[in-house]
Amino acid sequence: MDNQQKDNQLNIELSADVAEGIYSNLAIISHSSSEFVLDFVRIMPGTPKANVKSRIILTPEHAKRLFFALQDNIAKYEQQFGKIKTPDKNMTPPIPMRFGGEA
């Protein structure tokens, strides 16, 4: 590896706490002219209140890169495991307020 390749490398570290991850079953996305805000929420059955578990703030350019990366990874996932089932493509999925057939 030459010196230029060494200079372009980025060493990314992942702490044990972050590596555990945070489960989310709802994402709320908002934006302004200068940033996109992604709030990740966990909704639990029988609980009328849900808290934001993580917030990610991105520039518009990074939001678009994330969009393309998600598209690429979803395509690879579906190639390996089959199509991900979703409601009508033109319909926004409902917020999962009821779990396991609760009324």
Question: Is the entire prediction scored with pTM above 0.85?
Answer: no
H-run or E-run covering 13: none
Q: Which residue has the tokens 């917020």?
A: 95
Alpha-carbon dihedral sign for residues 53, 84, 68, 89: negative
Phi/psi at 63 (nearest 5 deg)?
Answer: -60, -40
What would the pLDDT profile of 57-76 be if each residue is shown by its tens digit?
Answer: 999 999 999 999 999 999 99
What percent of the chain is helix, strand and coil (3-state, nearest 5)?
A: 30, 20, 50
What is the predicted pLDDT for the residue at 94? 59
